[in-house]
């Protein structure tokens, strides 16, 4: 880690904290994620879902993992630096996005997600905070800590993603699901981009399900018509 210098903290989560850093050799800005638990072997590090998935995913709309460092039993991920996330981009706006900006953002998200699914993974935690941006012009999918292989077999944990972006089957505590849950989340994100408000902002799992129900009923009426 002596090749990098820390500038300031960017965030702190359950599993790790993220620091803005600079590579001393190149002067390039990077995001350094330090895991909170200790790792006592390289094999343990390489078996992490985030490492296994990102080693195989090289795409313009997927965050690039530049390096993995284990030092004194601490594990560090060195990522390319992105200025903000999509939640921050929406929160700071005084006016709605123009149609062209929404189309551009959604095209990038769907390009990245298609690549992830085609290469055998599903994300399980698609939400605005996990979509990193350099303004609306460049968007990348990040945070693969909950990613699973599509060919893996259920049961999966029923606690995935932030509640507002969970597919109905996950809200209903199903442990048998697959990549379509990412598509549901992306649909919720698209609606939020248009309105700058969450689509299903439930205060609990049950509340979120009941917010979903009117849309299901409306879709059923349209099919019957």
Question: 53 with 122, same domain?
Answer: no
Query: Which residues fall within 8 angstroms of residue 65, CB to CB, at 6 or more apart?
Result: 50, 51, 54, 55, 77, 78, 79
- CATH code, domain carrying 181: 1.10.510.10
- How far is it, in rounded angstroms, from Cα 31 to Cα 16? 12
Question: 62 with 136, same domain?
Answer: no
Give the other-Cβ count within 10 Å of 19's Cβ: 20
Helix axes 180-195, 99-118, angle to 10 degrees: 170
Q: Is 125 a catalytic residue?
A: yes
Q: Is 34 marked within a binding site? A: yes
So what's the pLDDT on residue 158? 59
Question: 217 with 131, same domain?
Answer: yes
Q: Summarize the confidence of residues 90-111 as an average pLDDT.
A: 96
Number of domains in the chain: 2
So what's the pLDDT on residue 214? 59
So what's the pLDDT on residue 212? 67
Q: Summarize the confidence of residues 159-171 as an average pLDDT.
A: 81
- How far is it, in rounded angstroms, from Cα 153 to Cα 135? 38
Report whether 130 contacts 85 (CB < 8 A).
yes
Question: 202 with 168, same domain?
Answer: yes
Q: Summarize the confidence of residues 80-84 as an average pLDDT.
A: 96
Q: Summarize the confidence of residues 197-211 as an average pLDDT.
A: 83
Last residue of a domain, one of 80, 104, 131: 80
Most confident range, picked from 45-54, 87-96, 109-118, 163-172: 109-118
- Token pair listed for 160: 């995935």
- How far is it, in rounded angstroms, from Cα 111 to Cα 42? 32
**Where is average pLDDT lowest: 90-94, 95-99, 133-137, 150-154?**
150-154
Report residue 208's pLDDT band, with 50, 70 and 90 as the boundaries. confident
Question: 111 with 138, same domain?
Answer: yes
What is residue 35's three-state secondary structure?
A: strand
Question: 109 with 169, same domain?
Answer: yes
**Where is average pLDDT lowest: 160-164, 186-190, 193-197?**
160-164
pLDDT, the chain, mean: 89
From the list 125, 143, 182, 212, the catalytic residue is 125
Question: 71 with 107, same domain?
Answer: no
pTM: 0.88
So what's the pLDDT on residue 160? 61
Domain membership of residue 13 as a residue range? 4-80
How do residues 5-56 score in pLDDT, each as one tens digit?
999 999 887 788 999 999 999 999 999 999 999 999 999 999 898 999 998 9
pLDDT at 153 over 90: no
Q: Summarize the confidence of residues 107-126 as an average pLDDT.
A: 96
């Amino acid at each position: 880690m002596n090749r990098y210098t820390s500038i300031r903290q960017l965030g702190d989560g359950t599993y790790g904290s993220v620091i803005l850093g600079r590579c001393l050799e190149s002067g390039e800005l990077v995001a350094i994620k330090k895991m909170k638990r200790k790792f006592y072997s390289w094999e343990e590090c390489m078996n992490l879902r985030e490492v296994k998935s990102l080693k195989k995913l090289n795409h313009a709309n997927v965050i690039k993992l530049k390096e993995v460092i284990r030092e004194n039993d601490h594990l560090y991920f060195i990522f390319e630096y992105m200025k903000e996330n999509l939640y921050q981009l929406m929160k700071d706006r005084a006016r709605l996005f123009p149609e062209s900006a929404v189309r551009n953002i959604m095209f990038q998200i769907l390009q990245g997600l298609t690549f992830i699914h085609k290469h055998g993974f599903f994300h399980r935690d698609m939400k605005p905070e996990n979509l990193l941006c350099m303004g609306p012009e460049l968007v990348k999918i990040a945070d693969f800590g909950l990613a699973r292989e599509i060919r893996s077999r259920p049961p999966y944990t029923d606690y995935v993603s932030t509640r507002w972006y969970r597919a109905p089957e996950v809200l209903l505590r199903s442990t048998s699901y697959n990549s379509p849950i990412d598509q549901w989340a992306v649909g919720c994100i698209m609606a939020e981009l248009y309105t700058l408000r969450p689509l299903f902002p439930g205060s609990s799992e049950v509340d979120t399900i009941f917010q979903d129900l009117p849309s299901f009923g409306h879709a059923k009426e349209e099919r019957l018509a």
